[in-house]
Structure 1
Amino acid sequence: MERPSGPSSAPSPGPSTGPAPGPAVPLLIACALGIERFALRAGRAGAAGPVTVLRTGMGPKNAERAVARALGEGRNRDAAVIASGFCAGLVPGMNPGDLIVADETRDPDGSTPCTGTALLVDALARAVPGHTVHTGTLTGSDHVVRGQERAALRATGAVAVDMESAATLRSALSAGSRPVAAVRVVVDAPEHELVRIGTVRGGISAFRVLRAVLPAFHEWHRSLLLPRR
């Protein structure tokens, strides 16, 4: 926290009782679609450091390449990473606009535990009151999943599916130790399958929720003791 400076004639302060603050650690928010990036760029107030909203393109391969490239740049080398955007809910009773906070992401290449899940759940409850927040495994796919395939993924214990989160977090950790998280907004669910995002009420509801999550991301970012390499 910044402290007010004293008059110029004041004596120099004694030795610090704690570590000097280091450089602000960046936050990288990765999403696949232009509409997701538009929503996530809606607010920057309250950020603890530089924030980059990266559009990766659709699919795990695009996400992996884009995140590796972004973290190879000097300004993002130590960034905390959040995978975000829309997803498909797998649990009956989910509704468009519900939030998914992953405690792990998983795909055929393995699983990645997420950082600060409980903190994010609490922060989202404040940022987007009245919307249900689900936690659990966010599974990855290389294609849009519908119908019976969703039921099969639900049988593995996953609560939601998207195409980029698992690859995003795996790529982030391959570039060095850092906090990682995945927060998605349900755009369709077993009883609410959509044909195209943004053309029906469910898609609009999900978009509005995604626009509101930034304060929770900033709170997560501020609250973590970010590891330095």
Structure 2
Amino acid sequence: MIPAVVCAPLRIEQLALRGAVHTGLGPRRAAATAARLPAGPRLVAGLGGGLATHVRPGDLVVATEVRGPQGTVPVPSAPLLASELRRRGLTVHTGPIVGSDHVVHERERAELAETGALAVDMESPWLAAPEAPFAAVRAIVDTAGAPLLRLATVSNGLAGLRSLRAAAPVSTAWQRAVRSRDILLAAPRSFCAGVERAIDIVERALDRFGTPVYVRRQIVHNTQVVRRLQERGAVFVDEVGEVPEGATLVFAAHGVSPAVRQEAAGRGLSVIDATCPLVTKVHNEVRRYHERGDTVFLIGHAEHEEVQGTVGEAPGHVVVVDDVATARRVTAPDASRVAYTMQTTLALDEAEEIASVLRTRFPGLAAPRKDDICYATTNRQAALRAIAREVDLVLVVGSTTSSNSLRLVEVAGRAGTPAVLVDDCADLDLHRLSGVGRIGLTAGASAPPHLVDEVVAALGGLGPVTVTERRLTEEETTFTLPREVR
């Protein structure tokens, strides 16, 4: 691919950006420069005029699309640029930039603002290369209500140039990240049956009972899902005591202890249980082992909500074992009456290593009748393991609160491939993408599928991508909804 070029219309902008190509001011000079440049990737950066009232001098506008007389040029890499600039402490807005062949005055500025455009310039549309990666960043000087020809323009211009200078390393990072790529999609990925069921329960509860519907903790561990449900009227609380008496409360997919259920009943709450049936299975195992007098070793992470709820089934009789070192020193009152269960979202190989140590130390150790680690966790780890050694970098879509997403990062690492957890495409680091030609892409069981599509689209904004899906197995598991929302 032809190397990317950073274009600056004015000499003073070129100096601020360090290494940009000077194009000249206005459409005619921009078009002439575009004709001379190789038809490759380009990023246009410079000063511009603000259209929306919330865009202020010194702010940066990253174009999500550039509108000009020849049509609209989309900018799929805008989320990557914007987040990189924000990480440098800059105030950044994303939205359309419109091209004009003249300086825009107040009436026309207001008309353009009504179209949804955030900024205006006189070069970007004429510098876009057809069928090549393109981006545009403008540092705002004049704004709505503060036109260009006024004394404050000098100080506003200096503010814009300071922002442009601060943005220079990001424009360089964009240049270096531009290239063609192969993307291997691991499948299965994204939502599992338990997550789909939990989200469906909250949505149906909102439809049936109206707002607000309260949810104890995150319904699933994904910030995007939680935000969308909040917008619909769901109210997320940490504890049952925060819910008004008589209200509707949904228990999250990770399950709760009997004590939490009793507290909800005591407050007269209408409870809908969205606990994943596979988590309920582990709760049932703990109760069964406890009733026959066993000490239960629970392989998992003590801080995870699923483990906390499971421990609550037999307080004082469940011992959390979170690593091999703990497994080697853990004890029980009666070594002949012991059993183990597992958190459902662990890394399979790590959990099995811990279980193996326990089995060696306690020959009579009772095991679950069927593996506790859920089918979705197992499938996603196996699918990633199948592609991890073929790529330069693995991207795992998921939130930092998601245990199964974090385990996917670990699976890639154990295969010898660096992996990065991203909540969405805005978390992609341009510097990390430099020199990376083959990317493995997956998503935790709580991450919406559309986030994977958005990551692919953003990477496509940096150059041509060839996407290949590697499907390890089909998933056909479904779970019945609770009667309250059927």
Q: Does the pair score TM above 0.5?
A: yes
1:197/1:39 CA distance change after superposition, 3 Å: farther
Distance 2:31 2:152 in 1: 26
User: Would you say the 8 A contact 1:123–1:219 is kept in 2?
Assistant: no
Q: Partner residue of 1:16?
A: none
| Pairing 1:35–2:2 present | no
Deviation at 1:115, TM superposition (A): 3.4
Contact in 2 for aligned 1:30/1:67 (Cα 8 Å): no
Q: Which amino acid aligns with 1:86?
A: L
2:35 alignment counterpart: 68
Change (3 A) 1:197 1:85: farther
Aligned residue for 1:85? 46
* Shift, 1:194, TM fit: 2.9
1:193 maps to amino acid: P
1:196 to partner: Cα distance: 7.0
Structure 1: which amino acid aligns with 2:105?
R
Q: Which residue of 1 aligns with 2:69?
A: 108
Give CA deviations for 1:8-27 in whole Å, capped at 9, x if unaligned: xxxxxxxxxxxxxxx8x522
Aligned pairs for 1:1-229 (under 5 A) are 26-41=3-18, 53-71=20-38, 79-127=40-88, 129=89, 131-169=90-128, 172-173=129-130, 177-195=131-149, 200-226=154-180, 227=463
For 2:178 and 2:25, the matched residues in 1 are separated by 29
TM-score by length of 1: 0.73
Compared with structure 1, are the counterparts of its residues 85 and 119 closer, same or farther at alpha carbon in structure 2 (3 Å cutoff)? Answer: same
Rg larger for: 2
| Residues 124/143 of structure 1: CA separation in 2 closer, same or farther (3 Å cut) | same
Q: Which runs of 5 or more residues in structure 1 are unaligned?
A: 1-22, 42-51, 72-76
Give the match for residue 473 of structure 2: none
Distance 2:42 2:176 in 1: 13
Q: For residue 87 of structure 2, give the secondary structure of its aligned residue in structure 1.
A: helix
Partners in 2 of 1:201 and 1:138 — Cα distance?
23
Preserved CA contact (<8 Å) 1:93 1:191: no
CA positional deviation for 1:104 = 0.6
1:62-84 C-alpha deviation (Å, 9 max, x unpaired): 1111022021xxxxx5x421011
**Contact 2:47–2:160 under 8 Å retained in 1:** yes
Q: 1:70 to 1:198 in 2, by over 3 A?
A: farther
Q: Residue by residue, what CA displacement relative to the aligned partner does 1:26-81 show, whole Å, maximum 9, x if unpaired?
A: 2211121111111111xxxxxxxxxx52211111121111022021xxxxx5x421
CA contact (8 A) 2:10 2:22 kept: yes
- Alignment match, 2:379: none
Number of residue pairs aligned between Structure 1 and Structure 2: 182
TM-score by structure 2 length? 0.36
Distance 1:224 1:63, change over 3 A: same
1:67 and 1:198 map into 2 onto residues whose CA distance is 33
| Identity level (%) | 42
Contact 1:82–1:181 (CA under 8 A) maintained in structure 2: yes
Structure in which a larger fraction of residues adopt helix: 2
* Counterparts of 2:147 and 2:6, CA distance in 1: 26
Give the distance between the partners of 1:102 and 1:114, measured in 2 at CA: 7
Taking CA–CA contacts closer than 8 Å with sequence separation of 6 or more, which of the two structures ends up with the larger relative contact order? 1
- Structure 1 residue 199 displacement after superposition: 5.9
Q: Secondary structure of the equivalent of 1:184?
A: strand
